[in-house]
């Protein structure tokens, strides 16, 4: 497992929650590889479903210094035997911290797993 930090400056004209929603959905490529790594089977039929990342809820701690963003996203699977596509939806809680006008997510990249 490895970690990746993603941080961005807070726009003070909108809430922290709005900043997080806008950034995550506008920068899906920064989050998709870490989210996909939980499902990665080293099988090219599986891919992160581009455009599927949504922020469902943002929870802030009482001191507004940390919290969780609950996101949903899709994993696309292609069935070559019958030429059909399937997208399964998953949910995750991503922890973040707020410090010095920045929001920081520490994303975990999981090792690929192989189905025997």
The pLDDT, as a whole number, for residue 116 is 57
Q: How confident is the model at residue 12 (pLDDT cuts 50, 70, 90)?
A: very high
Note the pTM of the prediction, 2 decimals. Answer: 0.85
- The pLDDT tens digits for 32-79 are 989 988 876 667 778 888 999 999 999 999 999 999 999 999 998 887
What contacts 71, CB < 8 A, 6 or more positions away? 24, 31, 35, 53, 54, 55, 56, 91, 92, 93, 94
């Amino acid at each position: 497992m490895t970690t990746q930090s993603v941080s961005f400056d807070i726009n003070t004209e909108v809430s922290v929650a709005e900043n997080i929603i806008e950034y995550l959905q506008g920068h899906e490529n920064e989050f998709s590889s870490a989210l996909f790594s939980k499902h990665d089977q080293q099988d090219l039929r599986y891919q992160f479903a581009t455009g599927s990342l949504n922020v469902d809820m943002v929870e802030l701690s009482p001191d507004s210094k940390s919290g969780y963003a609950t996101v949903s996203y899709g994993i696309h699977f292609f069935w070559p035997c019958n030429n059909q596509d399937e997208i399964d939806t998953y949910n995750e809680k991503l922890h973040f911290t707020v410090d010095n006008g920045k929001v920081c997510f520490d994303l975990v990249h999981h090792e690929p797993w192989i189905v025997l």
